[in-house]
């Protein structure tokens, strides 16, 4: 562990720290919480409180910041996805909530554009719903959506993510859904920043919107945000860990601790209070540092890209041209990951992206040195 701190808690377990240049990925730890968030969680851990009262109070802050009627802290975006669908199926009936995941007698179909199928959509069926696809892998029409709407439709799900196609778009999805009296639920897990997205989809009329807490907001990794229309959010509360009723809720395995509730709202407030331009400036300067030092390698082209090319934040992207004859992308990644410290980079297919959103100050130097060693050998 050259020149780096290996916290005792990880050392005891034999798990070394790594450099995360792959974004807010769950498998690498999400994000790093600010000291104020850790302090808030530490304070929260020292006394008992009524946890339902706490989450409802935190939910008011979530709702206000998202510009929604009601909010709640959840155990991550995936948990919020489960709860959104559960709420759309049960409505405010305790009997229905008790019955899940058996959906007999309830509306139980979730409609999703085929092109938006992704590895997180299992959460939409966890509560017992059935997924109904419309359109093809890369295109869809309003007519194709309308053809799937029937008396069993519980909701229409929409996923907002850089690499996922929008199909007919959220606006049109909401228009069609509301014409049929059906709610639209949105998974926008990793779409923060920009901070404006916290309220954007609510303003468009989405009925409920979920975000991850441990990605761009830098809250606890096992927390998330859910906000939306009052009636549906009441049904969400009923289906989540419902501490003051006898309902055996589908959301029981997705409890949110008092520490995570407090950490989440603290992180959210710090996130909205902090300067987006300054945050971006940090990513840009780290990107430039790397790009400027990877010149003169034949066949290697380095571009600094950002959201305009569906990237998360700002990052240098390494492209390997025909006249490149160094190690393969797979070999470069293997060497980076196997080094000390291990460096995990991103990149689709035959490119490497050095995603800066989680690269801590100074780590860009280590990344640059290692890339130069590998690429110039």
Ligand X SMILES: *Cc1c(COP(=O)(O)O)cnc(C)c1O
When the beta carbons of 257 and 368 are compared against ligand X, the nearer one is 257
Residues 6+ apart with CB under 8 A from 275: none
Closer of 31 and 368 to ligand X (Cβ)? 31
For ligand X, the binding residues in 10-29 under the rule CB under 6 A are 26
Q: If binding is defined by CB under 6 A, does position 115 make contact with ligand X?
A: no
The residue among 24 and 134 lying less far from ligand X, judged by its C-beta, is 24
Interface pattern 189-218 for ligand X (x via CB under 6 A): xx---------------------x------
Q: How far is the CB of 298 from ligand X (least distance, A)?
A: 36
**Closer to ligand X by Cβ: residue 241 or 374:** 241
Output Rg (C-alpha) for the chain, integer angstroms: 22
Instruction: Say how many Å lie between the first and final Cα of the chain, rounded.
Output: 23
CB contact at 8 A, 45 and 204: no
How far is residue 91's CA from residue 234's CA, in Å, rounded to a whole number?
Answer: 9
> Within 220-239, which residues bind ligand X (CB under 6 A)?
224
Query: Does the protein bind ligand X through residue 263 (CB under 6 A)?
Result: no
Nearer to ligand X among residue 111 and residue 159 (C-beta)? 159
Nearest approach in angstroms of CB 71 to ligand X is 15
Stretch that binds ligand X, among 3-11, 72-80, 174-182, 196-204 (CB under 6 A): 72-80
CB under 6 A: which stretch of 99-107, 186-194, 248-256, 333-341 binds ligand X? 186-194
Please check whether residue 230 is in contact with residue 23, taking contact to mean a CB–CB distance below 8 angstroms: no
- The least distance separating ligand X from the CB of residue 27, rounded to whole angstroms, comes to 10
Q: Which is nearer to ligand X, 189 or 291 (CB)?
A: 189
Q: Does 159 bind ligand X (CB under 6 A)?
A: yes
Binding residues for ligand X, rule CB under 6 A, total 12
- Residue 161: CB minimum distance to ligand X, A: 4
The rounded distance, in Å, linking the Cα atoms of 135 and 152 is 19
Q: List helix spans (H) across the chain.
A: 8-11, 35-44, 51-66, 77-90, 94-99, 142-148, 170-179, 197-203, 230-239, 258-273, 276-292, 329-338, 363-376
For residues 272 and 292, what is the distance between their CA atoms, to the nearest angstrom?
32
* H or E stretch at 70: strand 70-74
Among candidates 115, 186, 108, 89, which has minimal Cα distance to 150?
108
Q: What residues line the site for ligand X (CB under 6 A)?
A: 26, 76-78, 120, 159, 161, 187, 189-190, 212, 224
């Amino acid at each position: 562990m050259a020149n780096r701190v290996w916290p005792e808690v990880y050392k005891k377990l034999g798990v070394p720290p790594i450099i995360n240049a792959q974004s807010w990925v769950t498998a690498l730890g999400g994000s790093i919480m600010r000291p104020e968030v850790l302090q808030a969680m530490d304070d929260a851990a020292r006394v008992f409180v009524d946890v339902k009262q706490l989450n409802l109070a935190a939910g008011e802050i979530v709702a206000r910041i998202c510009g929604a009627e009601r909010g709640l802290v959840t155990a991550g975006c995936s948990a919020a996805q489960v709860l959104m669908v559960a709420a759309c199926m049960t409505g405010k009936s305790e009997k229905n909530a008790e019955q899940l995941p058996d959906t007999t007698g309830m509306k139980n179909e979730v409609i999703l554009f085929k092109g938006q199928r992704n590895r997180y959509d299992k959460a939409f069926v966890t509560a017992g719903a059935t997924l109904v696809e419309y359109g093809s892998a890369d295109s869809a029409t309003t007519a194709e959506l309308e053809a799937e709407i029937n008396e069993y439709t519980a909701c229409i799900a929409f996923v907002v993510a850089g690499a996922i196609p929008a199909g007919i778009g959220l606006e049109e999805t909401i228009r069609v859904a509301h014409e049929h009296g059906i709610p639209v639920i949105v998974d926008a897990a990793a779409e923060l920043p920009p901070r404006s997205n916290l309220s954007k989809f609510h303003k468009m009329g989405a009925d409920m919107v979920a975000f991850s807490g441990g990605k761009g907001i830098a809250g606890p990794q096992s927390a998330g945000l859910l906000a939306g229309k009052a009636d549906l959010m009441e049904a969400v509360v009923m289906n989540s860990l419902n501490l003051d009723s006898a309902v055996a809720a589908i959301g029981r395995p997705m409890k949110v601790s008092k520490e995570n509730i407090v950490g989440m709202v603290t992180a959210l407030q710090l996130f909205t209070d902090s300067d987006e331009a300054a945050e971006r400036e940090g990513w840009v300067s780290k990107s430039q540092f790397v790009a400027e030092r990877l010149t003169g390698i034949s066949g290697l082209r380095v571009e600094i890209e950002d959201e305009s090319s569906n990237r998360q934040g700002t990052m240098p992207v390494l492209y390997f041209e025909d006249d490149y004859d160094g190690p393969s992308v797979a070999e470069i990644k293997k060497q980076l990951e196997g080094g000390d410290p291990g460096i995990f980079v991103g990149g689709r297919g035959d490119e490497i992206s050095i995603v800066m959103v989680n690269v801590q100050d100074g780590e860009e130097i280590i990344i640059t040195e290692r890339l130069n060693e590998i690429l110039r050998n």
